């Protein structure tokens, strides 16, 4: 890709080899280092094909086709995976096997996850391997969309529960705050704690307390109006004895 994107920069095989060799590391760099100090310059410097062949000889798979054939049966699509990962791994090895379309079709289908196979039964049977991959991608997309919809309601329920809890506590607070107000209200006062003009005119001539509704000359220990006379303290009686007691001796 680097060579194709900048054809003016990489014109000769020597430039291709130099660029690729700059990315060698570890054991491949140890293999390449002697060529850097060789004089005259080895032929491999100016031959891209030879450079690739030598890399394959020393570090490539000796029998790539056989290794790929052995690798394909070990691939498996798991239920938690998307099918595209399995498809890419399969294609990487399938290209070296030399198998025909029918053989690849069977091997690919064999290792699909069960939920993908179940969905493929509802579709028309694909005749070629390429169509099987297209149908598999559709089934995989549908499956994960359904999985997302299944998890969405539980998230909404948790959200509604979390939002409803403060609302209940708010109602309790309102009820508790209202309770003292109702309990503290005296019978002669409205809910807002005030008398109307007519009530004031009615209470004043009769000497009726604005707060409790009793006449002002009567004790009213529960009223806020301090003009009521205080009731005598309960349980406190004083006896006064005057004069000397008479003593009789018989």
Phi, psi (degrees; rounded to nearest 5) at 46? -105, 15
**133-143 pLDDT tens trace:** 999 999 999 99
Residue with tokens 């000397």: 244
Sequence length of the chain is 250
Closest CA to 73 of 103, 118, 116, 115: 103
List beta partners, residue 215: 208
Q: Are 21 and 45 in contact (CB under 8 A)?
A: no
pTM above 0.75, yes or no: no
Q: Are 219 and 229 in contact (CB under 8 A)?
A: yes
Question: How much helix, strand and coil, in percent to the nearest 5, is found in the chain?
Answer: 60, 0, 40
Please compute, for residue 4, the number of CA atoms within 13 A of its CA located in the half-sphere on the CB side: 1
The CB-based long-range contact list for 131-136 (8 Å cut-off, 24+ gap) reads 132/105, 132/108, 133/87, 133/108, 136/83, 136/87, 136/112
> What pLDDT was estimated at residue 147?
86
Q: Locate the domains of the chain by residue range.
A: 2-60, 66-144
> What pLDDT was estimated at residue 91?
92
> What pLDDT was estimated at residue 132?
93
**172-230 pLDDT tens trace:** 444 444 444 444 444 445 555 566 667 666 666 677 776 777 777 778 777 767 777 77
């Amino acid at each position: 890709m680097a060579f194709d994107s900048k054809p003016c920069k990489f014109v000769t095989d020597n430039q291709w080899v130099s660029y690729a060799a700059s990315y060698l590391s570890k054991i491949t760099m140890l293999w390449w280092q002697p060529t850097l100090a060789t004089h005259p310059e080895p032929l491999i410097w100016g031959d891209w094909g030879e450079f690739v062949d030598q890399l394959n000889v020393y570090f490539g798979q000796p029998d790539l086709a056989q290794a790929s054939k052995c690798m394909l049966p070990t691939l498996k699509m798991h239920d938690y995976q998307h099918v595209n990962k399995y498809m890419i791994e399969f294609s990487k090895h399938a290209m070296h096997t030399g198998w025909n379309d029918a053989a690849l079709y069977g091997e690919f289908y064999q290792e699909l996850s069960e939920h993908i196979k179940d969905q493929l039964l509802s579709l028309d049977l694909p005749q070629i391997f390429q169509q099987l991959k297209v149908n598999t991608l559709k089934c995989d997309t549908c499956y994960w969309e359904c999985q997302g919809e299944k998890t969405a309601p539980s998230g909404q329920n948790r959200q509604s529960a979390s939002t409803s809890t403060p609302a209940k506590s708010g109602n309790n607070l309102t009820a508790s705050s209202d309770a003292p107000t109702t309990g503290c209200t005296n019978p002669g006062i409205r809910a807002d704690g005030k008398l109307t003009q007519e009530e004031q005119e009615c209470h004043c001539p009769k000497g009726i307390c604005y707060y409790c509704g009793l006449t002002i000359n009567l004790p009213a220990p529960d009223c806020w109006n301090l003009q009521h006379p205080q009731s005598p303290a309960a349980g406190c009686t004083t006896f006064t004895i005057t004069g000397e007691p008479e003593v009789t001796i018989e």
